[in-house]
Amino acid sequence: MPRSSGCADGNALVMEDVCLPAEGVFFPGTTGLRVERVEALVDGMLVQLSSTRSSRACPDCGVASRRVHSSYGRQLDDCPVAGRPVLVRLTVRRFFCDTPTCLRRTYVEQIDGVSEPYQRASSGLRFVLRSVAAAMGGRPGARLCRKLSVPAGRMRLLGHLPVPAVPDRAPRVLGVDEFAFRRGRRYGTILVDVETHQLVDVLPDRSSETLAAWLRDHAGAEVVCRDRASAYTRAVKEAAPDATEVADRWHLLRNLSLAVERVCHEHRVCLRKYAEQQQAQPRRPTFELVPTTLIVDRVRHRHEVINHMVDTGYPISEIARRLSLDRKTVRRYRDINFDVLLASARDRRNVPLDRFKPYLQVQFAAGHTNAKELYDQICERGFAGGYSTLSRYVRTLRDGTAVPAPSPVPSPRTISGWIMRPRENLSPRQAAELERVRLACPDITEACNLARVFTDLVRNRRGHLLTEWIRQGERCGQPSIRSFASFLRQDLHAVTAGLTLVYSSGVVEGHVCRVKLLKRSMYGRASFALLRTRILTRT
């Protein structure tokens, strides 16, 4: 065990027979400093310091002087030691400046690594407060400081945040992206140096005027990486017309994925019919024999009224307004078969039961008709619904009016994920499922082929083939794919650059994630200026 003992120098600490000066423990690496006294207080520690250097340089002219004008004491807070606050009492001297041309007549000495002008915290503590304020902000930082025995409130912490400096010129490769102060209402803009991955500036909105003004004040951008926001396009064309715009490849793949997902959603009926044919399910019961309920009556009434108004010539908007329904609901009653609507209405409360219905039908046909026994069996297999849900379905099985279990059809998002993923990354089961989807619907097959060609262009950066793909996409029979191809043509130069150059907005997206964390910790309680300072402060 290390032992401590006295030493000839009363200001030295002893550990394992090695004498260490106290200033080396409290202020390691600091020269020209002497610890006069270390005293234990009730609520902390007191350290008395003084300078050992005979001269100090003038902060204006840099000439050292030995003539002392006077001395006085300063009181500084320092970093805690062993969980106890440390108070520093520093004796400093005021020197005369003997340089005739210097405007300063006297000046106070500063101890490097300990004191700074007009500050009541040591240099080490100021670094700690600045780091805590940049990482956590005001109130959360103050709570952390109380646990660490650091004397700091929220206003003191925020006062230590430095005002970030913005370079006079824009970086050669500038990344631009938006972030939300409040999603759907107010947005800001973040600017990043793509080559060095460093933040450049933060703008209070995402308007083209604000970005154009910044680009005019900070010339030098040769390449601008952006998403497909039209406001940024207008700003770059107005303020930096010679800069090369690069559309982000991730956003291009994301837009194509949404277009493919819409195609899969529009042709979901084809997939369901194909699955039913493969399973050879029995014919659905006639719905004239279905017992009448409030839900069934409502579906029948709405179907009759909506289709009568459609036949009369009313537009969808007028029907929705007169019946106080959403336009999507009116369109659904107009386009979907009445039997499908009834089945969905009668069985929509049993959605968690869908994947257990084939098992229940087999058990019921085998003579196991007790609802309680069936409920215990499916609970063992993972059913999380209530007993009443099962009992309603068992009642329809007894009456002979049960709706068969829906065919296992992959969701549009799942199918689009299989299509957008490289073939080698698909498991054998996923590849087989995707092949069945392609067999079920030629329209999805066409969208799949076009999507795979485009993803190959993006991943291998074959921008010279983009024009040919756009022509094929515009001839596609699916409206969402045609719309995507037409939008690419409107932004042809930026998309071609994105599929050719190595630059992208991936670095910017990483900084946006950090901005979201900072924003959520302080949104609604602080100004944009403080948020900008925290974003640009590098810890």
Q: pLDDT tens digits, residue range 240-267?
A: 888 999 998 998 999 999 999 998 888 8
**Which pLDDT does position 279 carry in this prediction?**
54
The residue type at 15: M
Residues 287, 388 share a domain: yes
Q: Can you state the percent helix, strand and coil of the chain, rounding each to 5?
A: 50, 15, 30
Distance CA 492, CA 239 (A): 20
Structural domain includes residue 12: no
Q: pLDDT tens digits, residue range 122-133?
A: 888 888 888 888
DSSP-assigned letters across all residues of 399-443: HT-PPPPPP----HHHHHHHHHS-GGGS-HHHHHHHHHHHHH-HH
Distance CA 520, CA 514 (A): 10
Residues 447, 419 share a domain: yes
Structural domain includes residue 7: no
Q: pLDDT tens digits, residue range 319-351?
A: 988 888 888 888 888 887 777 676 666 544 455
**Which pLDDT does position 454 carry in this prediction?**
93
The C-alpha R_g of the chain, in whole angstroms, comes to 36
Residues 102, 130 share a domain: no
Distance CA 278, CA 269 (A): 14
Q: Which helix (H) or strand (E) holds 74?
A: strand 68-81
- Which residues lie closer than 8 Å to 138 by C-beta, 6 or more apart? 154, 155, 157, 158, 522, 526
Q: Which domain holds residue 358?
A: 282-399
Residues 367, 304 share a domain: yes
Structural domain includes residue 167: no
H helix count then E strand count, the chain: 23, 14
**Which pLDDT does position 281 carry in this prediction?**
44
Structural domain includes residue 375: yes
**Which pLDDT does position 2 carry in this prediction?**
40
- Would the pLDDT of 6 be above 60? no
Which of 399, 424, 448 represents a domain boundary (last residue)? 399
- Tell me the pLDDT band of 288, cut-offs 50, 70 and 90: very low
- Tell me the pLDDT band of 294, cut-offs 50, 70 and 90: confident
- Tell me the pLDDT band of 439, cut-offs 50, 70 and 90: confident
Which of 370, 399, 428 represents a domain boundary (last residue)? 399
Number of domains in the chain: 5
CA atoms within 13 A on the CB side of 227: 18
**Which pLDDT does position 10 carry in this prediction?**
45
**Which pLDDT does position 119 carry in this prediction?**
84
Torsions phi, psi for 74 (to 5 deg): -115, 145
- What CATH number is attached to the domain comprising 215? 3.30.420.10
Query: How distant, in Å, are the alpha carbons of 110, 125, 155 from that of 130?
Result: 20, 8, 12
Q: pTM for the whole thing? A: 0.60
The residue type at 354: D
Closest Cα to residue 264, out of 422, 481, 459, 469? 481
Averaged pLDDT for residues 187-200: 90
Q: What is the largest CA-CA distance in the chain?
A: 113
Residues 389, 311 share a domain: yes
Taken in order 178, 180, 181, 185, is the CA torsion positive or negative? positive
- Would the pLDDT of 404 be above 70? no
H-state helical runs in 154-286:
154-159, 208-217, 230-239, 249-266, 268-279
Closest Cα to residue 270, out of 479, 410, 480? 410
Q: Which helix (H) or strand (E) holds 57?
A: strand 56-57
Distance CA 448, CA 455 (A): 11
Q: Which helix (H) or strand (E) holds 457?
A: helix 442-459
**Which pLDDT does position 400 carry in this prediction?**
76
Distance CA 59, CA 311 (A): 90
- Residue 416's CB is within 10 A of a number of other CB atoms, namely 25
Torsions phi, psi for 193 (to 5 deg): -80, 110
How much is the mean pLDDT over the chain?
Answer: 82
Query: In this structure, what token pair is assigned to residue 371?
Result: 């609802």
Residues 417, 389 share a domain: no
Query: In this structure, what token pair is assigned to residue 405?
Result: 């279990």
Query: 141 and 132 in contact (C-beta within 8 Å)?
Result: yes
Residues 393, 310 share a domain: yes
Torsions phi, psi for 450 (to 5 deg): -65, -40
Three-state SS across 11-46?
CEEEECCEEEEHHHHHCCCCCCEEEEEEEEECCEEE
- Would the pLDDT of 286 be above 60? no
Interior/surface letters 12-27, b for 16+ CB within 10 angstroms, e for the rest: bbeeeeeeebbbeebb
Query: In this structure, what token pair is assigned to residue 423?
Result: 């073939």
**Which pLDDT does position 185 carry in this prediction?**
82
- Tell me the pLDDT band of 38, cut-offs 50, 70 and 90: confident
Residues 363, 417 share a domain: no
Structural domain includes residue 392: yes
Distance CA 244, CA 474 (A): 26
Q: pLDDT tens digits, residue range 521-530?
A: 776 666 787 7
Averaged pLDDT for residues 38-55: 84
Distance CA 90, CA 385 (A): 72
Distance CA 127, CA 79 (A): 10
Residues 144, 57 share a domain: no
- Would the pLDDT of 21 be above 80? no
**Which pLDDT does position 450 carry in this prediction?**
93
Which of 374, 399, 424 represents a domain boundary (last residue)? 399
Structural domain includes residue 272: no
> Using a CB cutoff of 8 Å and minimum separation of 24, what contacts does 113-116 make?
113/27, 113/29, 113/30, 114/27, 114/30, 114/33, 114/49, 114/76, 114/88, 114/90, 115/74, 115/76, 115/90
Q: pLDDT tens digits, residue range 200-243?
A: 998 988 888 999 999 999 888 899 998 877 888 899 998 988 89
Residues 458, 532 share a domain: no
Report the share of the chain in percent with pLDDT over 90: 14
CA atoms within 13 A on the CB side of 258: 8
- Tell me the pLDDT band of 18, cut-offs 50, 70 and 90: very low
Structural domain includes residue 479: yes
Residues 125, 114 share a domain: no
**Which pLDDT does position 521 carry in this prediction?**
73
- Would the pLDDT of 20 be above 50? no
Averaged pLDDT for residues 475-503: 90
Query: 39 and 46 in contact (C-beta within 8 Å)?
Result: yes
- Which residues lie closer than 8 Å to 90 by C-beta, 6 or more apart? 49, 50, 73, 74, 75, 76, 111, 114, 115
Distance CA 13, CA 7 (A): 8
Distance CA 388, CA 370 (A): 13
Query: 221 and 232 in contact (C-beta within 8 Å)?
Result: no
Averaged pLDDT for residues 343-368: 71
Residues 325, 378 share a domain: yes
Please give the distance of CA 178 from its chain centroid, rounded to a whole number: 11
Structural domain includes residue 59: yes
